[in-house]
């Protein structure tokens, strides 16, 4: 079988000593003469990836974040998807390692919930079967792409970080390209380590989606307007009740529906996480995960789902009015490339 050449492309910080993705990439089951690993160091990931893309020799590019840990068989699983010339990208979820701290397991439950992230939860938990998909389900920390397709589009829009890959995927589909979601093609990657970092991430995600919508409006972004509108509802709820703009029953009805949805999501998380444990974590190293712990993590996730909607919504409002500027090396660390031996 004539395998295509692959470049594993990893964005890392200047001076970062441990790059987990680089270590794991050296253990990938793929012919050494067909595999290249490039670590692009800098402070703006989209600029780092563009610089590495120009230097890459592989026909396919495997994008990993610095803390993504792919299984040794990941490329053997992903490469066959590109036997179809129309397939331009293929990706799958990034899963929280079973030995991650309790707080990170709770964050993982939030990320994997439908109520918090809708179809994008597929980025954080295996959902369904192998299928053609959209940018809503793919994530750049575990994504394989045809290098030629990326080059033809000029790489990533550096002014759109962190949604530069989403805009690029939309453009690929507009040109007739296929995107593939494979739930069995996954990496392990730990969520944010603190509530502060998690909150900052939510604000950034909201801002990035709004900036993407400003430049590339699509119907697929309609769901992303729900959190910012939810924030507007909460802002006006108290004065509306005080001054009786409408009957209280009408004003509180959306909140009651939301509370029921939140309760339903909590129950679904309990069942889903127990199922995920049996399917994906049984043979993974880590602490024994009991049903009681599963219930605790699911219940603890519920207030964080509310926080997700509020912070994402606030970030979205901010992103509607930010000034979009391309990355400039003059204002940040220059990008440096390191090619590693397989």
The answer to whether residue 284 scores a pLDDT higher than 60 is no
Confidence of residue 329 (pLDDT cuts 50, 70, 90): low
Q: In this structure, how many other beta carbons lie within 10 angstroms of the beta carbon of residue 153? A: 16
Confidence of residue 330 (pLDDT cuts 50, 70, 90): very low
| Predicted local confidence at residue 298, as pLDDT | 83
Instruction: Answer yes or no: are the C-beta atoms of 53 and 140 closer than 8 Å.
Output: no
Confidence of residue 219 (pLDDT cuts 50, 70, 90): confident
The answer to whether residue 322 scores a pLDDT higher than 50 is yes
The answer to whether residue 174 scores a pLDDT higher than 80 is yes
Q: Which of 256, 145, 161, 253 is nearest to 205 (CA)?
A: 161
Per-chain mean pLDDT for the chain: 91
pLDDT (tens digit per residue) in 134-162? 999 999 999 999 999 999 999 999 988 88
Region for 267 from its dihedrals, namely left if φ exceeds 0, alpha if ψ lies in -120 to 50, beta otherwise? alpha
Confidence of residue 340 (pLDDT cuts 50, 70, 90): confident
| Predicted local confidence at residue 128, as pLDDT | 95
Burial category of 105 from C-beta neighbours within 10 Å (exposed 0-12, middle 13-18, buried 19 and up): buried
The answer to whether residue 331 scores a pLDDT higher than 60 is no
| Predicted local confidence at residue 126, as pLDDT | 96
Rounded Cα distance, 338 and 186, in Å: 25
pLDDT (tens digit per residue) in 235-268? 999 999 999 999 999 999 999 999 999 999 988 8
Query: Cis peptide leading into 162, omega within 30 of 0?
Result: yes
- E strands, the chain, are 6-12, 35-41, 60-65, 69-70, 87-91, 94-95, 131-132, 142-146, 178-181, 187-188, 336-340
The gap from C-alpha 190 to its chain's centroid, in whole angstroms, comes to 12
pLDDT (tens digit per residue) in 286-314? 445 567 777 888 889 999 999 999 999 99
């Amino acid at each position: 079988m004539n395998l295509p050449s692959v470049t594993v492309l990893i964005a890392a910080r200047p001076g970062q000593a441990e790059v987990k993705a680089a270590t794991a990439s050296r253990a990938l089951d793929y012919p050494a003469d067909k595999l290249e690993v490039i670590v692009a160091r800098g402070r703006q990931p989209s600029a780092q990836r563009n610089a590495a893309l120009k230097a890459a020799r592989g026909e396919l590019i495997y994008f990993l974040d610095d803390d993504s840990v792919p299984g040794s068989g990941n490329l053997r699983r992903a490469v066959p998807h590109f036997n179809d010339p129309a397939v331009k990208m293929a990706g799958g979820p990034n899963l929280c390692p079973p030995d991650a701290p309790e707080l990170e397991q709770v964050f993982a439950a939030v990320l994997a919930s439908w109520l918090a992230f809708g179809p994008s939860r597929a980025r954080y938990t295996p959902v369904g079967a192998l299928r053609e998909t959209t940018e809503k389900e793919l994530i750049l920390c575990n994504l394989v792409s045809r290098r030629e397709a990326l080059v033809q589009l000029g790489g990533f829009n550096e002014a759109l970080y962190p949604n530069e890959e989403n805009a690029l995927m939309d453009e690929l589909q507009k040109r007739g390209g296929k995107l593939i979601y494979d739930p069995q093609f996954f990496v392990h990657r730990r969520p944010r380590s603190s509530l502060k970092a998690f909150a900052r991430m939510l604000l950034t995600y909201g801002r990035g989606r709004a900036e993407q919508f400003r430049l590339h409006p699509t119907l697929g972004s309609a769901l992303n307007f729900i959190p910012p509108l939810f924030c507007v509802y909460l802002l006006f709820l108290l004065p509306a009740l005080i001054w009786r703009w409408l009957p209280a029953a009408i004003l509180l009805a959306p909140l009651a529906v939301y509370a029921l949805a939140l309760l339903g999501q909590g129950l679904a998380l309990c069942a889903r996480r127990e199922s995920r444990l049996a399917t994906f974590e049984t043979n993974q190293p880590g602490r024994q995960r009991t049903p009681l712990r599963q219930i605790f993590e699911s219940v603890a996730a519920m207030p964080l789902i509310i926080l997700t909607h509020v912070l994402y919504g606030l970030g979205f409002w901010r992103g509607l009015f930010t000034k979009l500027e391309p990355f400039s090396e003059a204002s940040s660390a220059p990008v440096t490339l390191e090619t590693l031996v397989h």
